[in-house]
Structures are given as C-alpha cells and as structure tokens.
Structure 1
Amino acid sequence: MLVKIEQKKPAQFNVLPKIINGGIAGIIGVTCVYPLDLVKTRLQNQHIGPNGERMYTSIADCFRKTIASEGFFGMYRGSAVNILLITPEKAIKLTANDYFRYQLATEEGVLSLPRAALAGGLAGLFQIVVTTPMELLKIQMQDAGRVASAARAEGREVTQLTAMGLTKQLLRERGILGLYKGVGATGVRDITFSVVYFPLMATINNKGPRKTDGSGEAVFYWSLMAGLLAGMTAAFLVTPLDVIKTRLQADAEKQFNGIADCVGKTLKNEGITAFFKGGLCRMMVVAPLFGIAQMFYFLGVGEKMLGIEQKKSV
C-alpha cells in the first residue's frame, strides 16, 4: 500500500523547531490527563486478595478514594518527574517519527505503509531512553499513595516518598541501570504502540480539511481528532503490554522475575482479564494525551519562534 503525501518532499528537515513543538505538546498534554494516568496505574497494579477483595472497584471509586485520602493534589503525585521528563520524551518521539518518515519517503513524497510503520517503530525505540526512567519513577510515586493509604488504615507510620529520594535510592542500590528496570517491557510496549499509532494517525490526518496558510497541514481540530482516534486504537491493542510493564516497574516485593514470569503468574493467579486491567482508563488517558499533543505539535509554535516558514511534514 502506497500513500501519496505531497507532490515533493521538502529539501530540508528542520529538527530544532520539531523538538520545541514536541516538548510543548508533551507538557500541555500530560498536564491535562495526569490524574487519569494515576488512576490507570493504581487500577493496573492492584492485586485481588484471597477472598476477592480489592482496594478500588472502578475508575470513579479510585478517583473518590484518592481525593479523600490524599486531597486533590494527590491526583498529581509524581507529576513533577513526568512533566520534567515528558519534554524530551515527546520531543524525541514526535520528532523522530517525522524524521524517519522524511528519510524513508521517496523524492515524490510517497511513503509505503511498511515504511510508515518502520518509522513509527524506530521512534518508539529511540524514546525508551527517556521513557523507561520517567515511567519507573512516575509509577512508583503514583503507587506510593496507594501503599501509604493502606498502611495508614492499618495504623502504621509511613515515610513520605519523594521523586528525588526515590532516584537516589535506585542509584544507590542498583546504579544507573536501576533507573532502567522494566526496559524490555517498556520497549516492547512503546515500539508496538508507535508501529500502530503513527501510520494510523497520519492516514486519518491526511484525510481532513487543510489550513489556509499554505502550509498544507490539517486544521487544528482534525489533528486533535486524528490523535484521539489513533491513540485510542493503539492504546487498546497494547494494554496487556502496558499492564506487564507497570507491574514489573512497581514490583517492590520482587514477585516477578522478568516479562515471562510476570505473564505466567498473572495469568495463573488472575486470569486473562487481568491483562486488560485499567484498559478503559488507559484509553481515556492516551487518546486525549496524543490528541492534544498532536494538535499542539502541528500548530508550529517552534517554527514561529524561530521565524521558519512551516512546511508540510511527510
């Protein structure tokens, strides 16, 4: 399958404005959806007790209990780390996809579906350098609130966990590699997600109405819709991979010895449905995150800041 993108691809690919666009897009997107992401993490990581008991029964119940025990700002636990690292993460992901699409397209601006998927996969591969430590710290900070609530309910003292304290602890105990716990599962999830997401988003985005400024870009609301639909689809398909990654990174009790062991024990103890825990919540997080991020990425703020004429991306 060949997709005609434009008459001729630009003679030059400007990396710097794309990095700026990606960073801005990531900050805005993650700020909007972070509370849902926290709920998703806690739902995925909760384990069913011997009598079927669980801390949270639904998305709404998790929201209610978190706000009741930790306050509104408890919904943003671990967000500082995520917002700080989302800038390079989104900059790498979105820019790398655009760059590889540019390099893999023909001079006539034609990109085959396999090459579009390859560009997305390479973008997913590159991002895990930042994504893995970001998600490890975020997940452990998010889950710390659940652990603290359970401890307080039992009358036990709880030490407040901070992102800096957690980082120092991981570096002290495991060195720099301690920040890359779960890198294999993160890579599998992110590469698979990107292989699905980017070609689908580009296909939908190319079908919509265009701006009147001569850039050839889709109007902002269509980019938002393309990101929403593609993000929703890709998020659902990789939910089992996200569950595995989340459990490995939040595994303070060292219950799992790698991806295969996590899959085996989860399947044995909780059944196949466990791999879709938090799936709806994940779709509710990823769809608006990528919709908002793609919309701001395509607004061309970086090009405007640097005084560069915005050209249509391949």
Structure 2
Amino acid sequence: MPVKLLNKGSIIIILLPKIINGSIAGIVGVSVVFPLDLVKTRLQNQTVGPKGEKQYKSMLDCFKKTYAAEGYFGMYRGSAVNILLITPEKAIKLAANDMFRFYLTLPDGSLPVVRQMAAGGLAGACQIIITTPMELLKIQMQDAGRIAAQAKAEGRQIERITATQLTKKLLRERGIFGLYKGITATAFRDVSFSIVYFPLFAALNNLGSKDSRGPPFWWSFIAGCASGSVSALVVNPMDVVKTRMQTLTKGTGERQYSSILDCVVTTMKHEGPTAFFKGGACRMMVIAPLFGIAQAVYYIGIGEAILGLKP
C-alpha cells in the first residue's frame, strides 16, 4: 500500500517496517512457489531438437520428470540462495516504490499514472544489484537437473556444483562482474515489470477501498495476484531472454548467446515467436501468489507490529 508521510524527515522511520514486510513476504512467497519457478526455468531453457523433439512436453510433464529423477527436495534445488537474497531484493523493490511514490506525489496529493509508472520503474532499477546475482546462481542450480538428465541419456555424467562453489568459481575467473552476467536483460525485465505492476496494483487495490481504512486484507491479496500475473505475462519474453543468457552450462546442441539481440534473433529464427512465452503459465502462477502474499503482508503490518508502530 502507498506510504503516507507528513514530512520527508520521517521517511526512513516509515520505510523501516516496509523493509521488514518486504523481507518476510519474499521468504514466505519463495518457499511456497519455488517448485513452479524451477519448472519455469527448465521449460524456458529447453530448446526444440532438429526433429521437433522436446525434453519436457508440458509443465506437468516437467514437474513429473523432475520429481521422479530428483525427489521432493530436488524441486527446491537453488532455493537456499534465492531465500537468502530474496530478503533484500523484495525489501528494496517494495520499499523503494513507496519512497519514489512519495517524492513524485504532486503538491495537491495526486499521483498521475505516468508518475506511478516512473516510481515503479525506478524501484525496479534499484533491485537489480541484488536480483542479478540471485537469478544467475538460482538458474544454474535449478537447471542442473535438466542438464544432468540430458547427459545421462547420452551416456555422460556431469558433476554438480553448489551455489557456493559456483560463486567462488565466478569470482576467481571473472571477478565481481562474473556475478552480473545478464544484468542488462535483468534490468529490462525488472524495470518493465515494475512499470506495469505497481500502477496496476494501485488501481485495482483502490477499487476495494470502502472507507479511510483502505481495502480489506483479501482484496489486497487478490489485487496483488492479478497485477502480478498480468505483469509476468507482459514481460515473459524478456524473462526468457534473461534466463537463457544467464544459463552458463548448456546442454548438447544448445546455443550460447553473445548479446540480447543475438538471443532474440537466434531464438526467433530457430523456434519462432512462441518460444518467448515458454514457461509463461508457470511464471504467472509463480508471480501471482508471490506478490499477493507481499501485499497481504503489507496489509497485516507485521513490520509495524515488530517495531511497535502499529496502533
């Protein structure tokens, strides 16, 4: 929900509980939807073979094969790094949007849609310092099972690597910038997502406001789910590009990309426009509850209660 401040000097005090709320929302949300996010990553990374063959025929097929090959905990491969970094990522995204909305509000108290979009875009830009390495490490862990299964079918074996080992390897070989591979694609995705999501959520959430207390808990949850799913679908093509560019270990016959343009052109040439919506249903199912939970936590005011600021 938007932050209402009396003066700019109080913004840090007001944002602190929002940061706590964002952190809690991120941890809870990731824990709930991570298996779907893993399936989404594997669907986006698989390419069609020369005879039209696919490793996974559908979302359900991917889920079944992953569970059969790797078990229940295999569905949470890469979740540790995601849970660790989602705390600052969500805190930055949600709190920064509130802050920018405050500073962009006109003297008469109104906030035009264009300014709402600007606030969302700036919030999305702020989060990429955390999102890029988080996504890079998460994707390698999530996709490791798919690469291992493909290698096994070909009679090969691939040694699995942990997130810590991968981080050390990237830092040793490429320095700190090794953790920021795909940052441009990540920025395009996150900024465009936030430009769509935050104004849409504000509009839907306001529809549920019946008095000065704001909309009820369940309405904020629904508004967050609806806004998140629509925004996820809109930016799915860039998410596909980002995922493919950040995947360091490729399967047999899979392509490496030198730039965003190369990824877009090559994918369009070999797989057609529908490839940019691979994993779209999964992504919508992941993002909807993730942001529904985030807005619900904001509504409940857990951070305010912890700090003793809740009336």
Q: TM-score range by the shorter chain?
A: over 0.9
The one-letter code matched in structure 2 to 1:92 is: I
Deviations 1:16-47 (A, max 9, x none): 11110110011011111100000000000001
Report the count of equivalent residues.
302
> 1:232 is matched with which residue?
229
Shift of the alpha carbon at 1:287? 1.1
What pairs with 1:234-273 in structure 2 (closer than 5 Å)?
Answer: 234-253=231-250, 255-273=256-274
Q: Give the distance between the partners of 1:210 and 1:72, measured in 2 at CA.
A: 44
| Preserved contact between residue 228 and residue 287 of structure 1 (Cα < 8 Å) | yes
Q: Distance in 2 between matches of 1:273 and 1:251?
A: 23
1:228/1:290 contact within 8 Å kept: yes
The gaps in structure 1 that reach 5 residues or longer are none
Partner of 2:111: helix, strand, or coil? strand
Q: Does 1:10 align with 2:6?
A: yes
- Describe the SS at the equivalent of 2:168: helix
- Report the aligned-residue RMSD: 1.7
Letter in 2 for 1:10: L
Q: Work out the percentage of aligned pairs sharing the same amino acid.
A: 61
Correspondence 1:140-179 to 2 at 5 A: 140-179=140-179
Q: Aligned letter for 1:188?
A: F
The alpha-carbon distance between structure 1 residues 230 and 32, as it changes in their structure 2 partners (threshold 3 A), is same
Equivalent residue, structure 2, for 1:295 = 296
Matched, 1:277 2:278: yes
Q: 1:206 Cα deviation (Å)?
A: 1.3
Equivalence map 1:1-314=2 (5 Å): 9-11=5-7, 12-13=10-11, 14-209=14-209, 216-253=213-250, 255-309=256-310
Give TM-score scaled by structure 2 length: 0.93
Asked if the contact 1:9–1:107 (Cα under 8 Å) also holds between the matched residues in 2, the reply is no
In structure 1, distance between residues paired with 2:96 and 2:66:
37
Aligned counterparts of 1:112 and 1:9: Cα–Cα separation in 2: 18
* Cα shift readout 1:136-157 (whole Å, capped 9, x = no counterpart): 0001110111111222233323
Q: Distance in 2 between matches of 1:256 and 1:190?
A: 20
4+ residue runs over 6 A deviation? none
* CA-to-aligned-CA distance 1:135-182 (integer Å, 9 cap, x gap): 000011101111112222333233122110111111111110000000
Q: TM-score under structure 1 normalisation?
A: 0.92
1:164-223 Cα shifts (integer Å, max 9, x gaps): 011111111111000000000000000000000000001111111458xx7x34221111
- In 1, distance between residues paired with 2:155 and 2:6? 64
Cα distance between partner residues in 1 of 2:187 and 2:92:
14
- Unaligned stretches of 5+ in structure 2? none
Deviations 1:270-296 (A, max 9, x none): 111111111111111111111111111
